Amino acid sequence: KGINFGQRDLSRAQLDGLIDDAKELGAKGLVWAFREGDGWRAPIAKFLSEDELRQLNETMEADEGDLMLVAADTPSMVAAILGGLRTRLAERWDLIPHDAGNRFCWIVDWPLFEFNDEEDRWDALHHPFTAPAGEFDPENPGEARAQAYDLVWNGVEIGGGSIRISRPELQSQIFRALGISDEEAADRFGFLLEALKYGAPPHGGIAYGVDRFAALLAGVESIRDVIAFPKSGGGFDPLTEAPASITAQQRKEAGVDAKPQPKGGAANEAGQEAPLA
């Protein structure tokens, strides 16, 4: 897969920097090429025939002098790599308008599944309860699309959701496509499959990222600048100093079974404060 970055005059050092960018994004490498006539000016050009170069130029709609960047990997991986690279290049060359007002878009037609190469099986891209769009073909799970949607504001995802499966036979088909046997499904999700038999209505929704929404309204880059009650990397709340230690009496009242051990190893039976183990 590739992207056409238009007419750019880059030095060899800058081109090598693009390769480093791609590797940071997970690529094993990156092919760069400039269109020259019907061919390419690129290290890889000598390995391609004239007909292949012509077809590549046509496919990428390349004009004279255009820079093309090509990566190879699984479809999902290469899309993520080139998408991230395109964003970096747009920021680096100041191609993103910051005074264009508010631009919204819906991202739809998500794949229902993604293939897990390590486990040699299909995984649910969103979650296993997302309804497919249209009829589901169990023989071709990779072709299925999801009734899922994301809302994007000026390039930032601010919400996402989906329509849920409401028919038990369809839910069972999805479980089987994920490698979950009928027996395992009954053991883990029997309550859901049984409930759906009583006629659950189609339902769905969307969850908004309030922190991201606030960051966009405030014009800041990081949600850390707008989070009301930020936490440390370890989950500590510097404002309320939570989680805090509790006394033995408080543990008894709350019915907490944990038996904290104070420094020294002896059980804390005197009621003094001690952190939970």
Q: Which two tokens stand for residue 192?
A: 């859901």
Q: Which two tokens stand for residue 181?
A: 């046997």
**What is d(CA 205, CA 129) in angstroms, rounded to the nearest whole number?**
13
* Number of C-beta neighbours around residue 266 at 10 A: 9
Geometric angle at alpha carbon 172, from 169 and 173, rounded to 5°: 90
Task: Please name each of the domains of the chain with its CATH number.
Answer: 1-96 (3.30.1360.30), 101-228 (3.30.930.10), 237-272 (no CATH)
pLDDT digits (tens, 9 = 90+) for 32-86: 999 988 889 898 898 989 899 989 999 999 999 999 999 999 888 999 999 999 9
The answer to whether residues 83 and 6 touch, using CB atoms and an 8 Å cutoff, is no
What pLDDT, on a 0 to 100 scale, did the predictor assign at position 231? 85
The answer to whether residues 141 and 122 touch, using CB atoms and an 8 Å cutoff, is yes
Q: Is the peptide bond before 243 cis (omega within 30 degrees of 0)?
A: yes
Half-sphere exposure of 23 (CA within 13 A, CB side): 8
What pLDDT, on a 0 to 100 scale, did the predictor assign at position 274? 47
Non-local (6+) Cβ contacts of 60 within 8 A are 2, 3, 4, 66, 68
What pLDDT, on a 0 to 100 scale, did the predictor assign at position 19? 94
Q: What is the 3-state secondary structure (H, E, C) of 50-91?
A: HHHHHHHHHHCCCCCCEEEEECCCCHHHHHHHHHHHHHHHHH
Q: In what order do the strands lie in the sheet with 104-107?
A: 104-107, 148-153, 156-163, 204-208
What residue type is 130 in one-letter code?
Answer: T
Residues of the chain whose pLDDT is less than 70?
257-261, 263-277
